[in-house]
Amino acid sequence: MTALTLSTAGASTLRVDVVVVGIAKGGKGPVIAPGAEAVNKAFDGKLATVLETLGATGAEGEVTKLPAPAGYKAPVILAVGLGAVPEKNESYGSEALRRAAGTAARVLSGTKKAALALPVAQAADVEAVAEGALLGAYAFTAYQGGEKRAKKGDKGPKLPLAEITLLGAKPRDKAHKAAADRAIALTEEINRARDLINTPPNDLTPEAFAAVASAAGKENGVKVEILDEKALTKGGYGGILGVGQGSVSPPRLVKLSYTHPKAAKTLALVGKGITYDSGGISLKPPGHNETMKCDMSGAAAVFATVISAARLGLRVNVTGWLALAENMPSGSAVRPGDVLRMYSGKTVEVLNTDAEGRLVLADAITRASEEAPDAIIDVATLTGAMMVALGNRTFGIMSNDDAFRTSLHEISSEVGEASWPMPLPADLLKGMDSPTADIANIGERMGGGLVAGLFLKEFVGEGITWAHLDIAGPAFHEGAPYGYTPKGGTGSSIRTLVRLAERTAAGDLG
Ligand code: BES
Ligand code: MN
Ligand code: ZN
């Protein structure tokens, strides 16, 4: 884990491996961003010219290394691009800072200590830089560089930056300190969620996920209750059991309860936790199942949010429901044509076993509804159709309450997560009519993401505000890393959900 400290020391005096400065793209070449004044001075005020000579422009994501000036303890300066220079009187936006800090921390993996001389005039900037740096420093190396390789002299995988110092951020300033503390707690939970998503599905079974949740709950004062396959059978959770019945690793429903004695509101979060989605008997073709360990990203996001709420001591109750199962084809698997009796009592004809997420979520949403929370938000890598609609970096938001959907969209923009509001057109419901059961688990192909949302809506308790986040696109990043986004699990939607909990605690929302 990467350590973060705040310091008002001069950049030249620090015993670090590299000092990071920010540069932006100006009309006439790169411009040195605030925070790096002293470094620039050590270059006789010519750092921008030197960088331009080296080909730097200040474009977002660009990195340029150069030797440190005389008198510096650090041997290297790294200039990271912030993108366009802000308009007059405006400061660098939080997302630009997050991405630049993330890029720097990421490209410095294999290095031990870095000092960041980036713009941190306000506490919000401290938070953004800290968040970006700690997310960008993430690497999943648990399965690389075994003992044998190490013995042959191979050092194994590059390790994340060990220590980051934020220069210009004041350790004795209460707002700066609080911003850094929030960033540390939040990013540790996001990075733990990323670990869970990246862990191969032969190791992360529903039972193993439940065990991780149980241990983290204990550590953070969060109550954890686990329903195993016996308890699920007794309770009549036909959706979760149906999806899990083809696997040798049985399903689990995990309830995480964070409560605050002075809380006025309760949020219920429901996460899709398919530890591996093969498609089941409606098997996915090659090319579509290699990354399906990511199908528990919703549950990972819910888990991270509840633990974050506890670590931050938020004045709101947050209940997390992790619907964990493995979707496998076998002699005991659910078949296309089977009818499941759900926890709600509704019957569902399973016409496609690959539409499994909505089955496990439906049971968990019904169960969550019984406790009459102020709102239910489910999070799921639910449909390929949402990726077709919104691409790989944007999640879709559906809701039975337009104002709530708008709030979630605004919150996600505020925390630097891309999302877009999507409709729930009632006419798509009849496509799920079943000749045999109350409803089928698939409907029209067109608008498949909305069809899935409409299916879930059928299981939301009367009068309860509900939203559905389809994170199929942004949950798992297959391309080259950028900013603070690594390859693999991203931790999508956690920052949005934690901010929602904070806003609810503050009484900002309905
Ligand atoms: N887990 C998938 C959705 C998915 C696809 C997530 C790609 C991330 C990347 C989900 O269970 C699924 O298979 N959905 C089907 C539904 C269809 C059968 C109605 C889909 O989207 O094709
Ligand atoms: Mn599926
Ligand atoms: Zn799935």
Say how many Å lie between the CA of residue 405 and the centre of ligand 2: 25
- Which ligand is located closest to the Cα atom of residue 288? 1
Indicate the CATH number for domain 190-506. Answer: 3.40.630.10
Give the pLDDT of residue 170: 96
**pLDDT confidence of residue 150:** 58
Residues 6+ positions from 89 with CB-CB distance below 8 Å = none
**Sorting pLDDT into bands at 50, 70 and 90, what band is 152?**
low
Q: What is the pLDDT of residue 145?
A: 84
Q: In 343-491, where does DSSP find H-type helix?
A: 357-369, 384-390, 402-414, 448-457
CA of 198 to the centre of ligand 1 (A): 18
Amino acid present at 16: V
- pTM for the whole thing? 0.98
Any atom of ligand 1 within 6 Å of the Cβ of 356? yes
Q: What is the pLDDT of residues 184-195, one digit of tens each?
A: 999 999 999 999
Domain spans of the chain, in order of start: 3-167, 190-506
Check pocket membership of 381 for ligand 1, CB cut-off 6 A.
yes
Nearest residue (by CA) to ligand 1, atom 22, is 384
User: Which residue's CA lies nearest to atom 13 of ligand 1?
Assistant: 354
What span, in angstroms and rounded, lies between the C-alpha atoms of 320 and 494?
A: 13
Query: What one-letter code names the amino acid at 279?
Result: G
* Whether pLDDT at 395 is above 80: yes
Distance of CA 329 to the CA centre of its chain: 29
Say yes or no to pLDDT of 366 above 70.
Answer: yes
Mean per-residue pLDDT, 441-447? 98
- CA torsion sign for 70, 74, 76, 78 is negative
* Ligand 1 lined by 275 (C-beta under 6 Å): no
According to CATH, the topology of domain 3-167 is Leucine Aminopeptidase, subunit E; domain 1 (3.40.220)
Question: What would the pLDDT profile of 224-277 be if each residue is shown by its tens digit?
Answer: 999 999 999 999 999 999 999 999 999 999 999 999 999 999 999 999 999 999
Annotated active-site positions, please?
284, 358
Amino acid at 354: D
Residues forming a β-bridge with 165: 5, 115
**Which residues sit opposite 321 in a β-bridge?**
255, 270
Q: Is it the case that residue 101 has pLDDT exceeding 60?
A: yes
Q: How far apart, in whole angstroms, are the C-alpha atoms of residue 374 and residue 493?
A: 20
Ligand 1 site-directed mutation target among 350, 383, 442, 468, most atoms within 8 Å of CB? 383
